[in-house]
């Protein structure tokens, strides 16, 4: 890449036009990491959260040891939820070594966007023990949407060695005082053929709230 094109690329990453920023970020993904990472590291220190968000997006396009270290440092220091959520998505590109920093990110924040992003990422990994821990924390969250995301994530454990632990949690959730929690529980249980899950669904079919009953009745034949 000639120097003029490189400077134009750096300029466009800071362009006020979002489309031009996106084009520049896509082009930067094709640049050798030793040239791209210094640019992204500089952006990651900018006062503008939108530029910091672009930086963490770009780091995910260069899955090297150095970019992983930069991302984990950002996760530890960053305060903006939008940047942290995007950093979580980029960490996913690094495979199993990202599991620990993703857990720590979930634990350190109570922001719904970040927490839901981390849960959705962990659902797509083969780490049921980690998913159980994070789902438990999500279910205890004061934010209802995060709690419901945790309930749906818990359903993924019904076909793993952690099935019994998940069913024990579902047993408690099935009697929760808030109807939306019982409703999500019914939805989560419908995919399971386990006798205990079916028993819980039978009870939820008699629930006082019609939406819970409707969800519990959606049991595949």
Cα 150 to Cα 190: distance, rounded to the nearest angstrom: 16
Q: Which two tokens stand for residue 103?
A: 């857990």
% the chain with pLDDT above 90? 89
| Helices (H) then strands (E): counts for the chain | 14, 0
Whole-number pLDDT of residue 1: 62
Distances, alpha carbon 197 to alpha carbons 15, 200, 206, 217, in Å: 53, 5, 15, 13
Domain positions in the chain are: 1-125, 153-221
Fold match between domain 1-125 and domain 153-221: yes
CATH 1.25.10.10 fits 1-125, yes or no: yes
For the domain with range 153-221, which CATH number is right: 3.10.450, 1.10.10, 1.25.10, 2.40.50?
Answer: 1.25.10
Asked whether 147 and 183 are in contact (CB, 8 A), the reply is: no
Distances, alpha carbon 44 to alpha carbons 38, 50, 125, in Å: 10, 10, 27
* Span 44-69, average pLDDT: 95
The answer for residues whose C-beta is within 8 angstroms of residue 66's C-beta and 6 or more apart is 33, 37
Cα 216 to Cα 221: distance, rounded to the nearest angstrom: 13
Q: What is the pLDDT of residues 113-144, one digit of tens each?
A: 999 999 999 998 999 999 999 999 999 999 99
């Amino acid at each position: 890449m000639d120097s003029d094109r490189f400077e134009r690329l750096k300029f466009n990453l800071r362009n006020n036009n979002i489309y031009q920023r996106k084009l520049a970020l896509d082009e930067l993904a094709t640049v050798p990491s030793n040239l791209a990472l210094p640019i992204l590291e500089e952006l990651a220190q900018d006062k503008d959260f939108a530029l910091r968000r672009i930086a963490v997006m770009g780091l995910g396009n260069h899955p090297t040891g150095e970019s992983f270290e930069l991302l984990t440092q950002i996760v530890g220091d960053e305060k903006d939820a939008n940047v942290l959520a995007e950093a979580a998505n980029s960490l996913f590109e690094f495979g199993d070594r990202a599991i620990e920093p993703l857990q720590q990110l979930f634990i350190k924040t109570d922001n719904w966007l970040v927490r839901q992003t981390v849960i959705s990422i962990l659902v797509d990994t083969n780490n049921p023990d980690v998913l159980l821990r994070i789902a438990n924390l999500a279910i205890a969250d004061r934010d209802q949407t995060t709690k419901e995301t945790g309930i749906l994530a818990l359903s993924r454990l019904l076909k793993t060695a952690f099935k019994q632990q998940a069913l024990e949690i579902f047993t408690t959730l099935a009697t929760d005082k808030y109807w939306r929690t019982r409703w999500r529980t019914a939805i989560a249980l419908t995919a399971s053929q386990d006798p205990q899950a079916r028993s819980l669904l039978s009870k939820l079919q008699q629930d006082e709230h019609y939406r819970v009953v409707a969800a519990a009745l959606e049991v595949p034949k």
